């Protein structure tokens, strides 16, 4: 079983916050792939379904962001889910809006939900980082992430959520690169695998000019050269 946890804060007050993009992505996957209705369990809301034939549990912790690891840990222990089968979707300040990256392991990057999961479950799980952009100053971060998406964000936010839900079966196949690429293509960003492929020229060493031989000034060779060329 694959566990996909979307992070956010519970309740209508936070529903449209930038910090809740993980919840939004989990909802989009559930709708797109006809998961069972959400129910309460493991200090979370959960929905079961299948992606590419694989059994998947979607989870939205109801413990508030800073204690997300408690809900994720409960579900993992109950279903005996190992870290490689955990995928966490969350907001990333250090990525521009309309950008997405997947990585395995690493640090929390200051994200309290990830810090909590790392503490409760370990670090070697897959992280789907969805860019929300940075307000430009550390002092503005708190109000920014707990603020609602602006109306102008809808032109990229809705397509991003659709792209994540459409590509999510690739997460079930452990094809993280394919998942990222399909999202990028869906968003009109082109084939990322082709864009990131090194150019052939970069692997061709430029020919160096032949070194000029050093002519001896004394000795038999010098004498012969003088005789031939009159120097």
Packing angle between helix 68-79 and helix 112-121, nearest 10 degrees? Answer: 40
- Strands ordered across the beta sheet of 44-51: 39-41, 44-51, 54-61, 2-6, 86-92, 126-131, 100-104
CB 146 within 8 A of CB 17: yes
CA distance 159 to 171: 18
- What count of other Cβ atoms lies within 10 Å of the Cβ of residue 161? 20
Nearest to 161, CA basis, from 107, 224, 100: 100
The span from the CA of 9 to the CA of 65, in Å, is 5
Quick check: helix, strand or coil at residue 41? strand
Q: Which residues pair with 56 in a beta bridge?
A: 2, 49
- Would residue 19 show up in a list of annotated catalytic residues for this protein? yes
Catalytic residue among 19, 33, 79, 134: 19
Q: What Rg do the C-alpha atoms of the chain give, in angstroms?
A: 27
- Please give the structure tokens belonging to residue 74: 């409960």
> What amino acid positions are annotated as catalytic residues?
19
């Amino acid at each position: 079983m694959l566990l996909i946890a979307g992070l956010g804060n519970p309740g209508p007050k936070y529903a449209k916050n930038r910090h809740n993009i993980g919840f939004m992505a989990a909802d989009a996957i559930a709708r797109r792939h006809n998961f069972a209705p959400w129910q309460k369990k493991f200090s979370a809301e959960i929905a079961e379904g299948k992606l590419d034939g694989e059994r998947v549990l979607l989870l939205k912790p109801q413990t508030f962001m800073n204690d997300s690891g408690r809900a994720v840990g409960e579900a993992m222990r109950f279903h005996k889910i190992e870290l490689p089968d955990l995928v966490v979707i969350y907001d990333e300040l250090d990525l521009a809006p309309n950008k997405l990256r997947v990585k395995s392991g690493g640090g929390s990057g200051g994200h309290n939900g990830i810090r909590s999961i790392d503490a409760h479950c370990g670090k070697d799980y897959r992280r789907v980082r969805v860019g929300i952009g940075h307000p430009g100053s550390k002092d503005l971060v708190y109000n920014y992430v707990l603020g609602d998406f602006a109306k102008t964000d809808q032109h990229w936010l809705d397509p991003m959520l659709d792209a994540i839900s459409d590509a999510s079966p690739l997460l079930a196949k452990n094809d993280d690169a394919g998942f990222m690429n399909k999202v990028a293509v869906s968003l009109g960003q082109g084939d990322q695998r082709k864009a990131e492929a090194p150019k052939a020229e970069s692997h061709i060493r430029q020919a160096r000019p032949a070194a000029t031989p050093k002519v001896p000034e004394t000795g038999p060779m010098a004498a012969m050269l003088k005789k031939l060329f009159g120097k």
